[in-house]
Chains A and B, each alone.
Chain A
């Protein structure tokens, strides 16, 4: 039983990071029909930007701020203007393939200009343990979980409680009508890309101390986030959150109780089951767009 609790905490901490990445995934899909297969590499890159800044002499806190700003510029604005806008007019599939090419390009560029080897990355959550109900729990796990949940709650509040959030939702649900009633659709779409860039930069900051900074680290994350988004519901932010947490927990339980070799297969089996029996995802809406 105590082992199960440890697994749940660790799974939720990882799952919360998956959720951040998956939320970005669904936001891009909803507002601009962008299936970003480079989303994992989007998580990998900010850590390297921050490392490069630290190597240039910046302290960690400054590297975080500048790294997030650079991510907004490159992975938000740059991604939209240079890849999504020119490709989207040719359809969803060419854009999806272009993001696959982008993923390969980003990996190879980091490998070439930084290193093929893994690099250590400092943690923003202090090391150490605390005792909860007689159980020793790592501060890092709790910190990651708390920070990820705080961001998700903040984002949900932004989407549901603010005018900008309502305009973003209107853009996602029906851009034509949104435009007619005066919503600045283009600006809302750009904002979505910036939010996605912020989320992946944050996920990068949280996951890299555990996974280490490596050019290939986005492969696992991208796949997990994609599965999480579909399992939870591709057209709902709350679905992506639930999907992320679920995949994190299922992955850990599968590794512990099924086998390490098959752990990667278990979330995929879950994905197949969901597609067969509930194609809109666990919390998705059938009347809206689904994949």
Chain B
């Protein structure tokens, strides 16, 4: 009788703890730019992650287990990012998420690779996935994929014969500038001014004066979001009227919010945009706005997709196996029809780069307007 009561109590206790039904939570670690110059990047990324986890957990979790994430602030500083990643890896997460800044990814990816932990990050510098790191995956296009499209647009559509390149002097900016310079050379487009700026720079008056003096047919701007907004305001102040072209960081939601009217007319290639003419992306945008009360930029999408990459890969394996995660994700195609959280069909190659449809957008009256959809290659 006594043993029967004990067994019943044990059963009740185990059911109440959830251990019997679900197993231990799956731990994820996120290191992002929650403050400092990249705060826009990191906070959007974090919110996207939290939204996706909330959705997955509300539907019973991943393979019956809840997802848990810890967020750490890199302060937009590669040194701090490295320390935070080391701390996160010490807790043996299933997957490491972030950082978003390429410089921070560059110094943290060897740590994750050494620990055998897959790192899903937001960095876009071309070199990140060229070093043979088998544990590193992108959530968006690398510069080697996006820049040729921008150069082609500048040549074919804008018919520009000379450009001024303005870039931020860090891994992200220099990587973009190097790829872009080569691409412009292929079209015989002259670089009339090559202007490096500093991360966190507040005053762009002198840089814009240089652009004015060079009188280019177009300006290619490759800065982070806040600096992009500042230079757009200064370009308007100094009445520069030539086309302004860039990548996601020139035409993102945050840039539009910060630069106001000055952002109108800016154009660029974006791998991810909440204005994409895709129903699942529109649904994501609505959910995000409902939860956070603002329209996310591409980094919100990146964070959200990172979690659904974890979900699709784990379901493909049929088990939670950190060591086999990277091998499974290499070469994997995730279709939005079977996993709506991935929003658009995507394929990951052997380097961790992605193939997905992209968009050419222009800011019109404070809104991103998709001018052209560039299809997935394979």
Contact = CB atoms under 8 A, between A and B. Distances in A.
A129 interface: yes
Given A118-B229, A138-B238, A210 B207 contact: no
B345 interface: no
Given A212-B230, A212-B258, A116 B238 contact: no
Interface string B217-239: 00000000010011001101111
Given A117-B254, A118-B258, A210-B233, A260 B39 contact: no
Interface stretch (B2-10, B180-188, B198-206, B315-323): B198-206
Interface residues of A, number: 39
Given A260-B201, A261-B198, A118 B40 contact: yes
Contact of A3 (B200, B212, B234): B212
A10 interface: yes
Nearest to B197: A260
Contact of B209 (A210, A211, A217, A256): A256
A118 B35 CA distance: 10
Interface in A1-26: 2-3, 6-7, 10-11, 13-14
A141 to B, nearest CB: 7
A192 interface: no
B18 interface: no
A7 B209 contact: yes
Nearest to A108: B35
B352 to A, nearest CB: 29
A141 B257 contact: no
Nearest to B42: A116
Contact of A141 (B169, B210, B237): B237
B43 A217 contact: no
Contacts of B210: 3, 256
B201 A138 contact: no
Nearest to A264: B198
B77 to A, nearest CB: 12
Contacts of B205: 6-7, 10-11, 13-14, 252, 255
Contacts of B239: 129, 136, 138
A6 B258 contact: no
Contacts of B212: 3, 6
Interface string A95-131: 0000000000000000100011111100000010100
B198 A211 contact: no
Contact of B206 (A10, A120, A220): A10
A140 to B, nearest CB: 6
Contacts of B169: 260-261
A80 interface: no
Contacts of A14: 203, 205
A10 B34 CA distance: 33
Contacts of A256: 206, 209-210
A117 B43 contact: yes
Given A117-B254, A118-B226, A140-B237, A260 B209 contact: no
Nearest to A256: B206
Nearest to A207: B202
B166 to A, nearest CB: 10
A41 interface: no
A212 B195 CA distance: 22
Contacts of B213: 2-3
A149 B230 CA distance: 24
Given A129-B239, A252-B205, A260 B35 contact: no
Contacts of B155: none
A120 B253 CA distance: 13
Contact of A116 (B35, B197, B201, B207): B35
B39 A117 contact: yes
B229 A212 contact: yes
B36 interface: yes
B261 interface: yes
Contacts of A209: 233
B207 A260 contact: yes
B47 to A, nearest CB: 12
Given A211-B203, A260-B195, A138 B237 contact: yes
Contacts of B233: 209-210
B365 to A, nearest CB: 15
B260 interface: yes
Contacts of A253: 206
B257 A127 contact: no
7 contacts: A6-B205, A118-B39, A138-B238, A210-B233, A211-B203, A255-B203, A260-B201
Given A252-B205, A260-B195, A261-B196, 12 more contacts: A3-B210, A11-B205, A14-B203, A118-B229, A120-B259, A129-B239, A138-B238, A210-B202, A210-B203, A211-B203, A251-B203, A259-B196
Q: Which 5 A-B pairs have the closest CB atoms?
A: A255-B206, A10-B205, A116-B35, A116-B39, A138-B237
